[in-house]
Each structure stands twice: as C-alpha cells, then as structure tokens.
Amino acid sequence: MSAPRQWFDKDLDELNQEILKMGGIIEQQIYDAVESLISKDLGLAETVINRDDQVDELQQIIEDKCIRLVIRQQPMAKDMRAVFAGIKLVTDLERISDTAVNISRIAKRIIDEQYIKPLIDIPRMAKVAQDIVRVALDSFVRRNINMAESLFNMEEEIDHLYAQIFRELLVIMMENPKTISQATQLLMVARHLERIGDHSTNIGEMVVYLETGKRIKLND
C-alpha cells in the first residue's frame, strides 16, 4: 500500500471514530430525553438540551476534517464520495440530536401534569430509535450493505409503534377533550421519534449508494 493511501485510510479511520463518538452522544440523548419524560426529571431534560452544543461542536469538527481531507489527500472519486457522505451523515445526526432536544423541551412543558395514560409505547419507540441510530452508524463505518438494508425493518417497527400511539391518543382525546393539550404533546414526542427512523434510513441509503452506486429508498 502506498504512503498516500495509508495516510488517507488513517485520516478516514479517525473521521469514522469522531462520527461514532457523535453517534454515541446522540444515542444517550435519545434515552435521556425519553427518560426525563417518564421520570419527570427536569435536570435530565436540561442535560439533553445542554448537550446539543457538544453535538454541534462535533458536527463542525467532523465537517472541517472532511474538507481538510479532500484538500490534503485529493482522494479518488469513490473516496471523495465517502468523505462528502460523511458531511451529509453528520447533518442527519445533528437533526436526530435536535429531535431529542425537542422531546426534552416537551418533557419540561408537561412535567407537572398527571399523565393521561401510562407511557408504554413511547419508551419502546425510543429503544428502537436508539438501536436504528447505532446500526445505521455501524453500517456506514463498516460499509456493510446488509446492515444498511436491515434498517428498513427497524424503521417499519418505529412506524408501527407511531401509528399505535396515534390511534390510542386519538381515542383518549375524543373521549375527553380536556386531554387534548397533553395528548398533542405526547403525539409530538412520538413524531420526533419517528423522524429518527427517517434520518437513520437516510444513512443506510448512503451506504448502499457508496458500495453499489445504486440509489434506493429504504423507507418507501
């Protein structure tokens, strides 16, 4: 292996480690955001919101590294696509972080209210959301098409749980209009978790494109 190739692979590996670090923080944000809702933990909600700055900083670091990698190494076409895919990936990750922040803000808004129903399916959604982010990142770092394609089933599970939550909350609102305000907030939580599935499948689609040159839609 030539020296330039070795340097490029080393830089790319460092880039992937930064991406995994960012992803790890975001997985924890998802968990903590929903936990703050379940346990009515104001401090935990604030922690999620405050970590958004750390995520934004990592996004900037990764994007800067991608740009320097292109300028310094002048990679071949396929490697160039991989670097710019990294920039797009961290954009999706940053938006996932935003969804966790939004859930924490909802938790803060309804923290003093008695919940209109036990929170059962929202934590289940959050667990799948954490898993799909982790699998999406692993598929990108490993360039593993099978892992990328497995995101489709995980995203379908998230969609199924979202539809179930929507139906249950709709019935509650119809039976008691006084629940509409809180039910709407809980629906927004479920919607934010559903969006995590969409962003994660975007990452999977990038993996398939990088490895095969084919553009597919995992969430059709």
Whether 216 shows a pLDDT value over 80: the answer reads no
Q: How does pLDDT run across 142-191, given as a tens digit for each residue?
A: 999 999 999 999 999 999 999 999 999 999 999 999 999 999 999 999 99
Q: How does pLDDT run across 34-88, given as a tens digit for each residue?
A: 999 999 999 999 999 999 999 999 999 999 988 888 777 666 667 777 788 888 8
Would you tell me the crossing angle of helices 52-73 and 77-109 to the nearest 10 degrees? 170
pLDDT of residue 166: 96
3-class secondary structure, 215 = coil
Number of neighbours of residue 23 by Cβ within 10 angstroms: 25
Of 104, 116, 220, 122, the C-alpha closest to 164 is: 122
pLDDT of residue 13: 85
User: Are 98 and 52 a contacting pair, CB within 8 Å?
Assistant: yes
Q: What is the DSSP letter of 76?
A: -
User: Are 99 and 195 a contacting pair, CB within 8 Å?
Assistant: yes
74 burial via Cβ count (<10 Å: 0-12, 13-18, 19+): exposed
Average pLDDT over residues 118-142: 94
pLDDT of residue 70: 78
Distances (CA, A) of 100 to 6, 36, 47, 79, 189: 38, 11, 11, 32, 9
The whole-angstrom separation of Cα 124 and Cα 127 is 5
Of 120, 96, 133, the C-alpha closest to 186 is: 120
